[in-house]
Amino acid sequence: MAWYRELLVGFDLETTGTDPREARIVTGAVIEVRDGQVLGHREWLADPGVEIPADAVAVHGISNERATGEGAPADRVADAIADTLAGYWRTGVPVVAYNAAFDLTLLSAELLRHGLPSLRDRLGGLDPAPVVDPYTIDRSVDRYRRGKRNLEAVCAEYGVRLDSAHDASADALAAARLARAIAGRHPKVAALGPAELHRRQIEWYAEWAADFQSFLRRKGEADAVIDGAWPVREPAEKTV
C-alpha cells in the first residue's frame, strides 16, 4: 500500500510567538492516522514559563491563567513530545507537520533551553526522518497557484476539513489528511517512498528559500537572508 494510506503521525505545536528559536510551547498534539482515519491521539498543555503575549492568546485561545494553572512544566512537555516523535521515527513512521521547519526548530530550541537530549541524540545521531511537510510539498508541486499557503487555505484547496484552526489537535489531524490528499492529486508525490520524499523536500525547501531570498533582495532588502535548512534548524547556542 502507498505510504499516504499507511500510518502517518500528524504533529503540531501552538506557541507563544512566531520566532521558532525564541517562542515557547503552549500546546502540542500528536495524532495517529491511517488512510484518513484517527487511530490514536496525545496532547499536551504546557506552562511555558513566560508570559503568553495577547496576540498569541488571540490565535490559539490559551490564556496565561490556564497555562500556569493547568499546564505541565515546559521541560516535561518538550521531553515527552520529543520522545514520542523519536519513537515513531525509529520505526520508520512518517511524522507530518505543516511548515515543519517552524515546529521542529521550536521543539529543538526548547530541548536545548532545558538541557535535554536533542532529537538527533534520541535517534542515535541520525537526523529526524522521515518528515512529511504538506506546506513544502504543495509549494513545489503547484508552484504558480495564486492565493495564500496557510493551513486553512491549502486545506480548502484540497478539500480537507479543518474544524478549528490553531488548535494543535485539529491542525495535526488536518496536516496528516492533507498529506494524503496532496499525494492523491499528484502521482509524482504518491510514487515516492517516505525516505525519498524526505530527501526531495530538503531540496525543494532550499530552492524555495534561495528564490525567495533573491526576490527580497531584488525588491531592495539587500541584507535579506532566508534560511534554507529543513526540516529542523538547530539553534547555534543555548537559548534562554
pLDDT of residue 165: 82
Q: In this model, does residue 202 exceed pLDDT 60?
A: yes
Q: Tell me how far the alpha carbon of residue 204 is from its chain's centroid.
A: 16
Query: Residue 237: pLDDT band by 50, 70, 90 thresholds?
Result: low
Query: Residue 164: pLDDT band by 50, 70, 90 thresholds?
Result: confident
pLDDT of residue 127: 96
pLDDT of residue 3: 96
**57-74 pLDDT tens trace:** 999 999 999 999 999 999
The 3 state secondary structure assigned to 15-64 is ECCCCCCCCCEEEEEEEEEECCEEEEEEEEEEECCCCCCHHHHHHHCCCH
Q: What is the mean pLDDT of residues 208-227?
A: 94
Burial 83-93 (b: 16+ CB within 10 A, else e): ebbbebbeeeb
Query: Residue 239: pLDDT band by 50, 70, 90 thresholds?
Result: low
Cell of 35: 488512510
Mean pLDDT of the chain: 95
Higher pLDDT, 234 or 21: 21
Every domain of the chain and the residues it spans: 3-218
Query: Residue 169: pLDDT band by 50, 70, 90 thresholds?
Result: very high
Cell of 75: 521541560
Q: What is the mean pLDDT of residues 99-123?
A: 97
Contacts of 191 (CB under 8 A, 6+ apart): none
Q: In this model, does residue 1 exceed pLDDT 90?
A: no
Q: Round to whole Å and give the CA distance between 67 and 133.
A: 28
Superfamily of domain 3-218: Ribonuclease H-like superfamily/Ribonuclease H (3.30.420.10)
List Cα–Cα distances, 159 to 143, 146, 206, 211, in angstroms.
Answer: 18, 17, 28, 29
Q: What amino acid is encoded at 240 in this protein?
A: V
Q: What is the mean pLDDT of residues 129-142?
A: 98
Q: What is the pTM of this model?
A: 0.95
